[in-house]
Amino acid sequence: MATLTFITEEYPPYNYIDEQQLTGVSIDLLEAIFATTKTPLSRHDVRYYPWVRGYELALSQPNTVLFSTTRTPARESSFHWVGPIAQDRVVLLAHRDAPMVIASLPEAIDRSLTVAVIREDIGAQALLEAGYPERLLIPAIDNRSALNMLNRGRVDLWAYSEDVAGWIAESEGYPKSSLIPIHTLSESSLYFAINQATDQRLVTLMQQALDRVLAERPRR
């Protein structure tokens, strides 16, 4: 596994930087996998990129692992998958100062509601797959930029993980309650996504190591 390149992004509480060091649930799991397989790597060897760059590298570069990545039917054939790591709920979020209710995505389209998205993120992909007009999807550089767009009223909604969005809001000094989930886009599992050209033996080794790590952890 030492031949694999590991890439992550800011997606707390799974993977993020705290006090200039990568940390989070997925980072801890990965280090446990390294230990189990006697791989001479640590969290310091994980590359930290914006989501779009990491996603494009994982698609194009053999032996590249991207995490934490939502596994969906549309992405299924694009990667090998090791996991699951955790469950994640992706929603449309409104701001509490501009609350709204929608019964469905077609209603949101009829009302021409604009949505902050991150390109290639599961929120953006889910909306496009559902037929949401691209003209209503407003790209953000990253999750903090999307939060600021919503806070400033530059968009009506933000498509993102409910848990991660709440974490980002609190880290920026806003209460988690300032974000109101109004529609669920997906409920899926997070995985390590591995470039398709990677040797299947490495994928199997990593899955077996993850299974062993999870089996040895104390049950709550």
Q: What is the CATH number of the domain that holds 124?
A: 3.40.190.10
- 48 and 108 in a single domain? The answer is no
- 115 and 168 in a single domain? The answer is yes
- 66 and 37 in a single domain? The answer is yes
pLDDT (tens digit per residue) in 67-103: 999 999 999 999 999 999 999 999 999 999 999 999 9
- 200 and 153 in a single domain? The answer is no
Write the single-letter amino acid at 50. Answer: P
Distance of alpha carbon 74 from alpha carbon 92, whole angstroms: 20
pLDDT at 57 (0 to 100)? 98
Helix (H, G, I), strand (E, B) or coil at 88: strand
Confidence of residue 217 (pLDDT cuts 50, 70, 90): confident
- 143 and 131 in a single domain? The answer is yes
Q: Report the candidate in 196, 195, 189 with the shortest Cα–Cα distance to residue 210.
A: 189
Q: Is the peptide bond before 13 cis (omega within 30 degrees of 0)?
A: yes
Distance of alpha carbon 13 from alpha carbon 167, whole angstroms: 7
Share of the chain above pLDDT 70, in %: 99
- 78 and 135 in a single domain? The answer is no
Residue linked to tokens 């809001």: 169
- 61 and 31 in a single domain? The answer is yes
- 102 and 39 in a single domain? The answer is no
Range of the domain at 143: 88-187
- 44 and 116 in a single domain? The answer is no
- 27 and 38 in a single domain? The answer is yes
pLDDT (tens digit per residue) in 161-194: 999 999 999 999 999 999 999 999 999 999 999 9
- 82 and 92 in a single domain? The answer is no
- 196 and 124 in a single domain? The answer is no
pLDDT (tens digit per residue) in 123-154: 999 999 999 999 999 999 999 999 999 999 99
pLDDT at 20 over 80: yes
Burial class (CB in 10 A: 0-12, 13-18, 19+), 91: buried
Number of domains in the chain: 2
Q: Report the candidate in 113, 112, 126, 109 with the shortest Cα–Cα distance to residue 161.
A: 126
Mean pLDDT of the chain: 96
- For residue 102, what are the CA distances in angstroms to 83, 112, 117, 188? 34, 12, 18, 22
Write the single-letter amino acid at 143. Answer: N
